[in-house]
Copies of this chain bind each other. A is one copy, B any other.
Amino acid sequence: MRRQKKFYAWGYADEDLSPGEIAPWEAEIAKRYGIAAFDVTPPPRPEEFTLRPSRVSVPASLQSLVQTDHLTRLEHSYGKAAFDAIRMFMRSVPQPPDAVAFPESEQDVVRVLDWCDGIGATVIPYGGGSSVVKGIEPPASADKVVTISTRHMDKVLEVDPVSQAARIQAGIYGPAIEDQLRATPFTMRHYMQAYRCSTLGGWIATRSGGHYATLYTHIDDFVESIRMVAPTGALETRRLPGSGAGPSPDRLILGSEGIFGIITEAWVRLRRKPTFRASASVRFRDFYTGADAVRTITQAGLYPANCRLLEAREALPGVPWDNEQAVLVLGFESGNHPLDAWMARAIEICGDHGGVVDPADPDDENAHRSGAAGAWRNRFIRAPHYSEHAVARGIMSSTFETSMTWERFRDFHQKITAITRDTIRRVTGRDGTVTCRFTHVYPDGPCLYFTFGGLLDKRRQLEQFMDVLTTCTAATVEHGGTTTHHHAVGRFHRPFYDRQRPELFARALRGAKRELDPKGLMNPGVLIDP
Contact check: which of B163, B483, B527 meets A445 at CB < 8 Å?
B163
A334–B341 alpha-carbon span in the complex (Å): 14
Copies, count? 2
Q: Tell me whether A340 is interfacial, beta carbon within 8 Å.
A: yes
Name the one of B160, B406, B445 contacting A242, with C-beta atoms under 8 angstroms: B445
> What is the bound-complex CA distance between A248 and B239, given in angstroms?
20
Compute how far the CA of A242 lies from the CA of B272 in the bound complex, rounded to whole angstroms: 26
- Which residues does chain B contribute within 8 Å of A507, judged by CB atoms? 232, 512, 515-516
Cβ-based interface call for A299 (8 A): yes
Partner of A246, one of B242, B489, B503: B489
Q: Is A46 engaged at the interface, CB distance under 8 Å to the other chain?
A: no
A342 surroundings in chain B (CB, below 8 A): 341
Contact of A245 with B by CB under 8 A: yes
Judging by beta carbons under 8 Å apart, are A241 and B509 in contact?
no
Give 1 or 0 for each of A4-39: 1 = CB within 8 Å of chain B CB: 000000000000000000000000000000000000
- B-side contacts of A241, CB under 8 Å: 403-406, 442-447
- A486 interfacial contact with B, CB 8 Å: yes
Q: Is A48 in the interface zone, CB < 8 Å from B?
A: no
Q: Which residues of B contact A245 (CB under 8 A)?
A: 255, 482-484, 488-489, 493, 497, 500-501
Tell me, rounded to whole Å, the shortest Cβ–Cβ distance linking A221 to chain B: 10
B residues less than 8 Å from A484 (CB atoms):
243-245
A469 at the interface (CB under 8 A from B): no
The segment from A124-132, A205-213, A280-288, A389-397 found at the interface with B is A205-213
Which one, B164, B236, B485, B503, contacts A443 given CB within 8 A? B164
Give the distance to chain B from A443, nearest Cβ to Cβ, in Å. Answer: 6
Partner of A165, one of B403, B405, B447, B501: B405
Which one of B269, B503, B511 contacts A513 once the chains associate, using CB atoms below 8 Å? Answer: B511
Please tell me if the beta carbons of A253 and B247 are within 8 angstroms of each other in the complex: yes
Residue A505 is within 8 A (CB to CB) of chain B in the complex: yes
Known contacts A160-B405, A255-B246, A445-B242; A516/B508 CB under 8 A: yes
Question: Inside 8 A of A300's CB, which chain B residues have their CB?
Answer: 334-337
Of B218, B253, B444, B508, which contacts A224 at CB under 8 A?
B444
List chain A positions with a Cβ less than 8 A from chain B.
Answer: 160-165, 206-209, 215, 217-218, 220, 224, 230, 232-249, 251-257, 260, 269, 271-272, 295-296, 299-303, 334-337, 340-342, 345, 403-407, 440, 442-447, 480-489, 493, 497, 500-505, 507-516, 527
